[in-house]
Amino acid sequence: MLILVVAATADEVAPLSEAIRLEPSSTDRVQQGRHAGHEIDLLMTGVGMVATAAWCGTVFARRRYDLALNVGLCGAFDRSLTPGTVVHVVSDRLSELGAEDGNAFLTIHDLGLLGLDEPPFRGGAIVNHAPPDNAALGPLRAVSGITVNTVHGRDETIAEVAARFNPQVESMEGAAFMYACAVHDVPYAQIRAVSNRVERRNRAAWEIGPAVRALNATVVAVLESA
């Protein structure tokens, strides 16, 4: 299989980079390697949905992939998702895409600028209706997420977005990746490890190391099961 692994930063996939024997001659933001009999392209997009959409679109125009994986860390709204938990994000929203109307927020769908079920959206979210049949992916908890430009860290806005969308996790890239895969008809999965709870910024409570280790172990298992 030809597999694309997409990450925002090198730190999030450092153990994976070692496992897939990256070629030193790789150029651009894409490095090439092999693992478990698969040819693997590792794309580092940089942080954020704009960079993710731009670079995913670029690589999808160059090659036809059998599978794409977006891997990274996330914050958890759902208190049952403890740091280090690896999840499969099957539904994601662009939660900030819309307009303020006094104290109210109008989504892009409320504004009538985009239909609730206009592809690739379903009910206002981007939903992965056909995730890959993979023995390592199947046991992961399936969750809903939001993708943001500004990570939440204020009690009032955390409460507002929780009431509006009821997300379980948030990232800065996920929905952009899912949108690109849907547009290019590439089978995909978004795999994330919880590094922290969504709360007022408290770096002392973050569990980056355990989350990265759990994430990479899971991604390697998914590749070996593909």
Domain boundaries, the chain: 2-225
Task: Tell me which CATH code domain 2-225 carries.
Answer: 3.40.50.1580
Bridge partners of residue 190, in order along the sequence: 70, 89
Q: Identify which of 8, 11, 5, 41 has the alpha carbon closest to the alpha carbon of residue 23.
A: 41
What is the per-residue pLDDT for 8? 96
Are 206 and 11 contacting, i.e. CB atoms less than 8 angstroms apart?
A: no
The Cα 80–Cα 158 span in angstroms is 17
The Cα 200–Cα 179 span in angstroms is 29
Q: What pTM does this model have? A: 0.94
Are 143 and 169 contacting, i.e. CB atoms less than 8 angstroms apart?
A: yes
Residue-level pLDDT, tens digit, the chain, 226 residues: 999 999 999 999 999 998 888 886 656 789 999 999 999 999 999 999 999 999 999 999 999 999 999 999 999 999 999 999 999 999 999 999 999 998 889 999 999 999 999 999 999 999 999 999 999 999 999 999 999 998 998 889 999 999 999 999 999 999 999 999 999 999 999 999 999 999 888 887 788 999 999 999 999 999 999 9
